[in-house]
């Protein structure tokens, strides 16, 4: 099972990197989300995927009786999911506003600060 999850992590991260290198803003946004999901799966896999009981100590005992699940990777992944979703929502609105104002999805055509035929800067001062 660990090999399957490792291959899936590699696939998610490779797909996310490929989409991040695209010139389309929407593909970049989807690539960022897939990359984040790959990192979340990596943290989950690093926390040892086992079929253990929940980390709850029964009443009357000082420690759990048997092996328990590690709650730290689960808490980290939950936090990362919330942060990733909020970043996705912000970047989606930002991409939508950029598309509305510039009427372009391609990053090469979004060159308001650098016009194509602008004079070159001086070579020395």
Token pair listed for 119? 């004079």
Token pair listed for 43? 């943290």
The answer to whether residue 45 sits within a structural domain is: yes
> Of the candidates 67, 72, 71, 74, which has an alpha carbon nearest to the alpha carbon of residue 53?
67
Residues in the chain: 125
The answer to whether residue 115 sits within a structural domain is: no
Parent domain of 11: 1-51+69-106
Its pTM stands at 0.78
The answer to whether residue 17 sits within a structural domain is: yes
The answer to whether residue 61 sits within a structural domain is: no
The DSSP-derived string for 36-51 is HHHHHHHHHHHT----
The answer to whether residue 4 sits within a structural domain is: yes
The answer to whether residue 59 sits within a structural domain is: no
pLDDT lower than 70: segments of the chain: 50, 113
Distances (CA, A) of 108 to 5, 9, 24, 95, 123: 37, 31, 9, 14, 25
What are 65-98's pLDDT values in tens digits? 877 778 888 899 999 999 999 999 999 999 999 8
- Residue 17: count other Cβ atoms within 10 Å of its Cβ: 13
Q: How many domains does the chain have?
A: 1
Token pair listed for 87? 């970043």
Per-residue pLDDT at 11: 97
The answer to whether residue 117 sits within a structural domain is: no
Per-residue pLDDT at 2: 81
The answer to whether residue 77 sits within a structural domain is: yes
Give me the CATH number covering residue 81. Answer: 1.10.287.3510
Per-residue pLDDT at 120: 80
């Amino acid at each position: 099972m660990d090999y399957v999850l490792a291959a899936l992590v590699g696939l998610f991260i490779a797909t996310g990197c490929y989409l991040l290198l695209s010139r389309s803003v929407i593909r970049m946004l989807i690539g960022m989300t897939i990359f984040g999901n790959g990192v979340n799966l990596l943290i989950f896999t690093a926390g040892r995927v086992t079929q253990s009981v929940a980390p709850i100590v029964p009443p009357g005992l000082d420690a759990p009786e048997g092996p328990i699940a590690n709650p730290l990777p689960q808490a980290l992944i939950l936090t990362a999911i919330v942060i990733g979703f909020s970043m996705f929502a912000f970047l989606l609105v930002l991409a939508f506003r950029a598309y509305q104002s510039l009427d372009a999805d391609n990053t090469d055509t979004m060159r308001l600060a650098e016009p194509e035929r602008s004079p070159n800067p001086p070579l020395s001062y």
